[in-house]
Structure 1
């Protein structure tokens, strides 16, 4: 089955999924956030085929999420390092992790504890907050078309008003 080309959708979610929507891609990013940089280490940790791993790393590099660099310790090897664009995906992964702990638990509790490096205290969960700090749900937010909305996006935004 061929993959649908999401670039035709002028939508932030579709554009993000076009770059990171493959499930192996998110696991590679998870491992990169934990410090894995080398092809062999990704492959060992994920038990992924070299062909699939190579394709996903090439896509992440092409999209500017990872940068492929010569290893400082072994001039023949390469490392994959998160770029600023890649680092900006951290809240996305934390949200997925929290959702998984809540809706797909292993029965023993959270799989990881995230601590602030500065004071070693647990970090607050990722969430949508108002400008005064209140946690908001989807029911608390009004969506309006903005300057970059095309007709399809405006129709989607206005769909809720019709229902």
Structure 2
């Protein structure tokens, strides 16, 4: 199937991100890791996933650099899976997906909500532009071809004017203009 992917899909950051987290179990494992789970048996018991699927997904997450495999016991060897900086940088994405899922439900039907750890007050997550503070769900924000775009990608977005400002990206997901 990989041979059928168009060039513009391979260079698309959304396609790239889905390459990391596009599988159902992958996002659920990451969610558990954000909640503090680190051990195979914890993930398996909480998710009810088969050991073969969990083994496969954990190998993928470690090879992609989202989790680090660390030995916590010898005789027999036992390992835990700890979030890396790259893995932790995905937390806002998972929070946004959960918020989107909850937005479709009546508040009384929500089985999981995001709250402030200190006050217990429910949060209402939004994604905003760091420079202006404006919510990115505003239709004024659109995708455009970036500096590394192929000719195909440039044609796709040729109607969108750009004044790209280079950002310095950090492993924790923050950036500087």
Does the TM-score normalized on the shorter chain lie above 0.5?
Answer: yes
Q: Is the 8 A contact 1:145 1:154 kept in 2?
A: yes
TM-score calculated relative to the size of structure 2: 0.76
Q: Is the 8 A contact 1:61 1:68 kept in 2?
A: yes
Q: Which residue of 2 aligns with 1:19?
A: 20
Q: Which residue of 2 aligns with 1:132?
A: 132
Offset from partner CA, 1:9-51 (integer Å, 9 cap, x none): 1111111111111011000000000011111111110000111
Q: Report the structure, 1 or 2, having the larger helix content.
A: 1
Aligned residues: 156
Q: Is the 8 A contact 2:144 2:160 kept in 1?
A: no
Q: Is the 8 A contact 2:44 2:51 kept in 1?
A: yes
Q: Which residue of 1 aligns with 2:116?
A: 115
Q: Is the 8 A contact 2:70 2:79 kept in 1?
A: yes
Unaligned runs of 5+ in 2: 162-177
Q: Is the 8 A contact 1:36 1:42 kept in 2?
A: yes
How far apart in 2 are the matches of 1:85 and 1:129? 21
Q: Is the 8 A contact 2:31 2:94 kept in 1?
A: yes
TM-score calculated relative to the size of structure 1: 0.81
How far apart in 1 are the matches of 2:38 and 2:101? 25
Task: Report the RMSD for the aligned CA atoms in angstroms.
Answer: 2.7
Q: Which residue of 2 aligns with 1:50?
A: 51
TM superposition shift of 1:150 = 1.2
